[in-house]
Amino acid sequence: MAASASGCVRVFLVDEELRWRFSRSGGPGGQHVNTSDTRVSVSLDLTATAALTGEQRERALRRLEGRLVGGVLTVTAADTRSQARNRELARQRLAVLLAEAAAPGPRARRATRPSRGAKERRLGAKRRRSDLKRTRSRRFDD
């Protein structure tokens, strides 16, 4: 499965690398909830995955370090009453999360200087503001 984030990085998850866990989901649902393992957790070891290049792996490990436990990223889905649908959702979320974390950052800003007109406008505005405040003062200089 592929996911594309804003950075145009595509991540192809390898089924053999994913670890799935199923548990009972909380919330409303009547007797169905009490007997079905519909909550889905999918885990991926970022340190050993073949889904990312070395550079992407470093970026993802750095950006997701707060969510990782021993280098393993886990995503949970319990949105629907269907285990199959929750599996799809968990896999999609994992792929999107990885794609966003592995995407390169924005380009470095090129330093520029303000133009002469911009400087003059800024100083003129400061002068006008200063004059306005001076006319408000209660000093009476004769």
For domain 2-102, give the fold.
Double Stranded RNA Binding Domain (3.30.160)
Section 72-94 average pLDDT: 90
CB count within 10 Å of CB 33 equals: 15
What is the residue extent of each domain of the chain? 2-102
DSSP letter, residue 98: H
At 89, phi and psi to the nearest 5? -60, -45
**Rounded (5°) CA angle 49-68-56:** 45
3-state secondary structure of 137: coil
Is the pLDDT at 132 greater than 70, yes or no?
A: yes
**Residue 37 near residue 24, CB atoms below 8 Å:** yes
Distance of CA 94 to the CA centre of its chain: 12
pLDDT of residue 128: 96
In angstroms, the Cα distances linking 59 to 62, 68, 70, 104, 121 are 5, 13, 16, 8, 42
pLDDT of residue 139: 67
Q: What is the pLDDT of residues 15-71, one digit of tens each?
A: 888 899 988 877 666 676 667 788 899 999 988 888 888 888 898 899 998 888 988
Full-model pTM: 0.66
Helix segments in 23-115, DSSP class H: 31-35, 54-63, 83-102
3-state secondary structure of 50: coil
Mean pLDDT score of the chain: 85
Residue 12: CB partners within 8 Å, gap ≥ 6?
1, 2, 51
At 129, phi and psi to the nearest 5? -65, -40
